[in-house]
Amino acid sequence: MPYLIPRFLTILLFLLLIDYITFRALKVALRGATVFKRKLWFRVYWLVSIFCLLSTALYFFGIFRDMSPIRVWVQGFVSVVYISKVFVVFFVLFEDLIFYARKFFSFLNNFVKKTTPTATQNTQGKKITRAKFIHQAGLIAGAIPLATLSWGIISGAHDYQVRRRKIYLPHLPKSFEGFTIAQISDIHSGSFYNKTAVKGGVEMLLAEKPNLILFTGDLINNHPDEMREYVNVFDKFKADFGVYSVMGNHDYGDYIFGISAQERAKLRKKLHEIHKAMNWQLLLDENRFIEQNGEKIAIIGVQNWGTGNFPKYGNLSKAYQGTQEAKVKILLSHDPSHWDAQIRPEFPDIDLTLAGHTHGMQLGIEFGDFRWSPVQYRYKQWADLYQEKNHSGKMQYLYVNRGFGYIGYLGRVGILPEITILTLTAKG
């Protein structure tokens, strides 16, 4: 536990800096207000800020280890508050930049001319100052994401979208022409607060009657117990060719601090048992063949493998072994960065990779074929279908599911939860 203290203090200082800068904007914006009004707003501001900081401390040190409804809502509230404050911070820093730049150039001008600055007329009270205007604009800018993100919790969190794509595979066995795959990803059961809405999403998928269901990781946030209330929801997934799943970065217990490696291993085993209880075939660097009329395609499942700071538990060579003769190979790999980093360069005969992980950041804009999200500056492939020809001229596909659930922020704005329906075809 002592090793967490430096990390916690860094986060705490960062949040305090955001609180202080935002408070400066509030002080400037309330100039001219009555003493009572100023004191009231200041007290409300710091009470909310202290609540958020204490909640962050309790979360960081694992006091609320289980994802109780209270913790879920508190975590969501804190995320909305600080995201909104960041918008205010940009305006305050912009005003600071203008202020100190004017001071600097004024100093240079006076130094060159060797003159004494003349007093300027005090116009306060006659018109709004630049500083007050910018700080008030900053507070308004912060209120916009506050309202938008709040609406995203109410409206967007469970607004499930069915997205349909055709995957052209020229070597697809005839028996699999028109074969449909339902993909879901990133359930994050520990964040759920509306079981009825989640059941509605499951029913939407079942209504599609897919031939096969594939899950690409992050069943939980941290602890297997988060699935306690949802095993009897997701065990309803049924398809003629079964349900296959893999692990995501949140499924290993790595984000629970202060526990031993043995305890972490027990948590992973418990999660494996949950997959089994739901009749999901969990692929831990393994593969399976699905057969129809004597023809087969390979389903390969690799454990989490990501670039950057994300763990590389997966062994794709092991998972791939034995599938060389399959005409079509479909890979489940949670993190889409795996595609460019290893899959395409080393396994050019993997036709289709299914991933998730990014959630589309749960925030962005989608209009027709136009898509934008801040997450695109971290991930080259972050939502929907991508295709690239390899060195032999064969087309390889990657589909990145936007996620079924949510984490941190309890809603979605613009990037809505997804159920993917992929249809395999050899007909171009």
**How much is the pTM?**
0.85
Chain position carrying tokens 């936007």:
402
H-helix segments, 329-412: 337-338, 344-346
Q: Using CA atoms, how far apart are residues 318 and 287, in angstroms rounded to an integer? A: 9
pLDDT the model gives residue 56: 84
pLDDT the model gives residue 2: 54
pLDDT the model gives residue 3: 52
Nearest to 84 by CA among 45, 54, 32, 42: 45
pLDDT the model gives residue 127: 67
Instruction: Pick out the chain residues at pLDDT < 70.
Output: 1-4, 62-69, 114-127
DSSP secondary structure code for residue 117 in this structure: P
* All residues at 6 or more sequence positions from 71 whose CB lies less than 8 Å from its CB, including other chains: 59, 64
User: Which CATH architecture does the domain made up of 160-425 adopt?
Assistant: 4-Layer Sandwich (3.60)
Give the DSSP per-residue string, 158-174: T--EEEEEEEE-TT--G
* C-beta of residue 185 within 8 angstroms of C-beta of residue 334: yes
pLDDT the model gives residue 208: 98
pLDDT tens across 354-398, in order? 999 999 999 999 998 899 999 999 999 999 999 999 888 899 999
The full set of domain ranges for the chain reads 4-154, 160-425
pLDDT the model gives residue 297: 97
Q: Using CA atoms, how far apart are residues 200 and 195, in angstroms rounded to an integer? A: 9
